[in-house]
Amino acid sequence: MKYKKLTGIVLKKQNYKEADQILTVWTREEGKIRCLAKALRLPKSKLAHAVADLGLSEVHLAGNHLPVLIGARPIRQFRTVREDLQKMAIGFYAAELMLKMTADEHPNPPAFNLLAEFLHSLDQTDYSEKYHPLLECFSLDLLDALGFKIPQNFTTPKIMSMDIDEIEKTHRIINRFIEYILERSVRSEAFLAQSQV
């Protein structure tokens, strides 16, 4: 039985059977992977805290086709992202980009670092304005890391200096470009828009 110890960010959880979950984790070492977390939904689960949504964790896996989560240690949980609806919506939007724009088991350390740094910045930022520029900067940097280039001439300093209306307009442009690449909608866009009201 193959054993792995990886560092990753939990992008998605999918309920499986009565108490299990299938986790999708973006790892530094192996890119996007899926694993089975047995009994994770039970109140007595010892691993649930260690693999929180959008949390950075060390995961221990055993098995080949769909490895089983046999241990985990939280590294950073980005607490304010989970406690603030706007931040959570922004975080889930970023997670969906990682899910949909990347192939399974293709490591991309720059993309991993982008996501980790983005979540850290989002966790540390205190704001009340909608469509925070951090998300747009992350989206553009991720597109660049994955080999895509948006036609518009956006730069991080330019985006960070935009007012609310400009940020909202920029977000719509970037989101349309991403959906054009994906040939499908970004589902968390609706949650993001609702949280900004």
What tens digit of pLDDT does each residue of 156-183 get? Answer: 899 989 988 999 999 999 999 999 999 9
**Pick from 53, 76, 99: which residue ends a domain?**
76
Structure confidence at residue 195 (pLDDT): 82
- Given this model, what pLDDT does residue 95 score? 97
Give the confidence band of 118 by pLDDT, cuts at 50, 70, 90. Answer: very high
Contact 35, 25 (CB under 8 A): yes
95 and 179 inside one domain = yes
Nearest-angstrom CA–CA distance, 104 and 176: 24
Select from 58, 76, 94 the last residue of a domain.
76
- Three-state DSSP class for residue 63: coil
- Please report, for residues 94, 185, 188, the alpha-carbon distance to residue 23 in angstroms, rounded to integers and kept in the order given: 16, 22, 18
pLDDT computed for residue 169 by the predictor: 93
Q: Do 99 and 40 share a structural domain?
A: no
In this structure, the answer to whether residues 51 and 136 fall within a common structural domain is no
Q: How many domains does the chain have?
A: 2
Q: Are residues 111 and 181 in the same domain?
A: yes
How high is the mean pLDDT of the chain?
92
62 with 107, same domain: the answer is no
pTM as predicted = 0.92
